[in-house]
Amino acid sequence: MRILIWHVHGSWTTAFVQGPHTCLVPVTPDRGPDGLGRARTWDWPDTVVELPPERLRDTEVDLVVLQRPHEADLAERWLGGRRPGRDVPAVYLEHNAPHGDVPDTRHPAAGLPGDVTLVHVTHFNRLMWDAGPAPTTVIEHGIVDPGPLYTGELDRAAVVVNDPLRRGRTVGTDLLPAFAAAAPLDVFGMGTDGLAEHLRLAPGRCRTRDLPQDELHTELARRRVYVHPVRWTSLGLSLLEAMHLGMPVVALATTEVTEAVPPGAGVVSNRIEELTDAVRAFTADPAHARVVGEKARTAALARYGLARFLDDWERLIKEVTR
């Protein structure tokens, strides 16, 4: 089967393209948001084929995976007038929790013509979005297993977040000083330059780095504990990746986190004192951190394994294309 999909979310797409189908990924000369092409920092199989927009007009497409509101019109234009959900089967994959007037936020897929199934990545997101008449389903995340890389050799806490200065309270940037008081932080992600100065933290208490994913996993696994301070977003793939690595996790009990981190796999709470105490405890006790991290890995493999993810997508693809 030939599936048209935009390279929007690198980690999620890395899992999706491991399936048995040919994925047609638009590429433009500027490699902008609508034409990134193949990933450059992830390992994608040869079944991922880059196609410029002008070639899509004469290309057979069996399924379109929409991920952003403008992609339905973009696909119709690039596919020579074939409308997703009407002339070619389509699903709309929603990565995010709603913003705005929650829980009354209307999803863009609610107004799409034709038959387009709205696919959420968490049950929380499905609950909170107003999908109107659109059919909905949930296919939870799947992770390409990086392996049990955890060493915990550095008595520091790891955080992964992109653009923490811009995104602020949404991703818990304001909570980082409290965690930095419990253990020195290494914050990984794009747009993290100047974070320590912004938070008025000593450089040694808050270091920042932006690494490719393969290097990121290795470096994360050297830290004693993973901290997920996010208030409002979908279920962060970085949290699930940290669990796959075998890291103990400390996370806010928001959105889907309470589902993802079962008892014994870490500490989940909305009490900041409980969370910072957990960071101190994991940092001070490497043996305890390792035992909890092993439980986190077991839980993540059971619920967010790649095979289950691909099987779920295969069932949906057969359903919407029959």
Domains annotated for the chain, with CATH where assigned, are: 2-142+306-321 (3.40.50.2000), 154-304 (3.40.50.2000)
Cα(58)–Cα(221) distance, rounded to whole angstroms?
46
The Cβ of residue 257 has, within 10 Å, a number of other Cβ atoms equal to: 20
In terms of DSSP H, where are the helices of the chain? 10-16, 53-56, 71-78, 123-128, 164-167, 176-182, 195-199, 213-222, 237-245, 257-260, 272-284, 286-304, 306-321
Per-residue confidence (pLDDT) for residue 40, from 0 to 100: 84
What share of the chain has pLDDT > 70, as a percent?
100
What confidence score (pLDDT) does residue 254 get?
97
Judged by DSSP in three states, 1 sits in coil
Contact, 84 vs 76, CB < 8 A?
yes
Q: Are 12 and 37 in contact (CB under 8 A)?
A: no
Provide the token pair at 296. 């986190």
Tens of pLDDT, residues 212-266: 887 999 999 999 999 999 999 999 999 999 999 999 999 999 999 999 999 999 9
pTM score, whole prediction: 0.94
The model's pLDDT over 261-282, given as tens digits with 9 standing for 90+, comes to: 999 999 999 999 999 999 999 9
User: How do strand 63-66 and strand 90-94 relate by DSSP bridges?
Assistant: parallel
Q: What is the DSSP letter of 105?
A: P
The whole-number average pLDDT for the span 56-69 is: 97
Per-residue confidence (pLDDT) for residue 111, from 0 to 100? 86
Q: What is the pLDDT of residues 296-314, one digit of tens each?
A: 999 999 999 999 999 999 9
Collect all residues with Cβ–Cβ distance below 8 Å to 295 and sequence separation of at least 6. 264, 265
- Give the pLDDT of residue 43: 84
Contact 291, 260 (CB under 8 A): no
Q: Return the sign of the alpha-carbon dihedral for residues 224, 230, 233, 234.
A: positive
Our measurement of the distance from residue 200's CA atom to the centroid of its chain's CA atoms, rounded to an integer in Å, reads 29
Q: Is the pLDDT of residue 41 over 90?
A: no
pLDDT of 30 over the 90 cut: yes
| Number of C-beta neighbours around residue 146 at 10 A | 18
pLDDT at 173: 98
